[in-house]
Structure 1
Amino acid sequence: MPILIGMVRTARFTEDDFIEATMALVAEGGPAAATMQAIARQVGAPTGSIYHRFESRAAVLGAAWNAAYASFVGALAPLLHSGRPREAALAILPWSRENARRARFLLLNEPVTLFEDTPPPAPLRQALERLEDEFDAAFRACVGACGEGDLREEALARAKFLIFDAPIAILRPHLMKGGTLPPFAERMIAELHAGMPLA
């Protein structure tokens, strides 16, 4: 019996190709730049091929957001769980350097802006909720450990500022310009933690 060659076709474009293209477009031009046509063009694929993998623009944006956020959580959550808030804040710097596109996509945008027209499909929303719960548990564990169990509003607000808000505010202007992160950023973050300790 003859062997039929070429009957099984390998997909030329993967979900990850479209996700990375979406991040690149949003990172450079904001959410409006990531139309389905533009994403396909960025990949070099026909527009129809993206619809074989994602049912809508909200779906590919949701998948991109979850991928970037999961990477961020993966870098910081272990440090938070081990009660190391300063190291967690500082970890945002190497993560941003090593994941420049994801950093611009994640740290310069908000889900409310990305999904102002249509929310992502339910499975993606549920996946994001799981990531948020995981990150919140790590954050609260860190605050509780550093503040001897103090989870009052002030303690949580102080920790959020020191670990997330201040470092991201320091980085944001440089992320917007797309340049290299400044060498003084690490010193500024360390000085903030020294001058206003978590506990």
Structure 2
Amino acid sequence: MVRTARFSEDDFIEATMAQVAEGGPPAATMQAIARRVGAPTGSIYHRFESRAAMLGAAWNAAYASFTAALAPLLRAGRPRDAALAILPWAREHERRARFLLLHEPVALFEDTPPPAPLRAELERLEESFDDAFRACVATRGDGALREEDLARAKFLIFDAPIAILRPHLMRGGPLPPFAERMIAELHAGMPIG
């Protein structure tokens, strides 16, 4: 008789995000992840070769979710809407937001980088998102991508909204009701291009 798996790869990925979101990268041990899922530690190794693979899969899942929410708006030349889209994404995916927006990949992978296929997937995601960002900035001016335009766009679309959210994500409380207004005011006062 064939035995069906009780735990999916997604169960372990979500548990990894939860561990990091709640306790930082050191909290994401294989044992803690297995305990959170309610699985034997060995069952993780049937799906992931290492802790770095678990963290890499979790990072890629969170990053793909984030980029899926923003990239279409960037490609459509709507930087303000892309910046504002971070808020509903963070509300809907609080655990992913805490995992992704409060931690840098370098801290997650300081001991061991993720396996090559996961690194390649992250590079593909980053390249696609960067292409959407550059396309958005190019539509805002004369088409030339000046360093100042890129820096302003990065600040307005990503850095400022994430800075507004970060204290609330760290505390785990609700996102501030004024966040949307602040982001919109920033875009009105310092337009891109």
The TM-score with structure 1 as length reference comes to: 0.96
**In structure 2, what is the Cα distance between the partners aligned to 1:163 and 1:148?**
19
**Is 1:14–2:8 an aligned residue pair?**
yes
1:150 offset after TM fit, Å?
A: 2.6
Matches within 5 A, 1:67-146: 67-146=61-140
Q: Give the gaps of 5 or more residues in structure 1.
A: 1-6
Paired residue for 1:36, among 23, 30, 38?
Answer: 30
**In structure 2, what is the Cα distance between the partners aligned to 1:102 and 1:94?**
12
Query: Aligned to 2:49, what secondary structure does the other structure show?
Result: coil
Q: Give the gaps of 5 or more residues in structure 2.
A: none
Count residues in correspondence.
193
Q: C-alpha deviations, 1:139-195, integer Å up to 9, x for none?
A: 000000012213011110000000000000000000000000011000000000000
**In structure 2, what is the Cα distance between the partners aligned to 1:102 and 1:16?**
13
Match of 1:3 in 2: none
Paired residue for 2:50, among 23, 43, 56?
Answer: 56
Query: Aligned to 1:68, what secondary structure does the other structure show?
Result: helix
Q: C-alpha deviations, 1:17-74, integer Å up to 9, x for none?
A: 0000000000000000000000000000011110110000000000000000000000
- After TM superposition, the runs of 4+ consecutive aligned structure 1 residues lying more than 3 A away are none
**In structure 2, what is the Cα distance between the partners aligned to 1:41 and 1:105?**
19
Identical columns (%): 84
Match of 2:154 in 1: 160
Amino acid corresponding to residue 27 of structure 1 in structure 2: A
Q: C-alpha deviations, 1:101-138, integer Å up to 9, x for none?
A: 00000000000000000000000000000000000000
Match of 1:170 in 2: 164
Greater radius of gyration (CA): 1
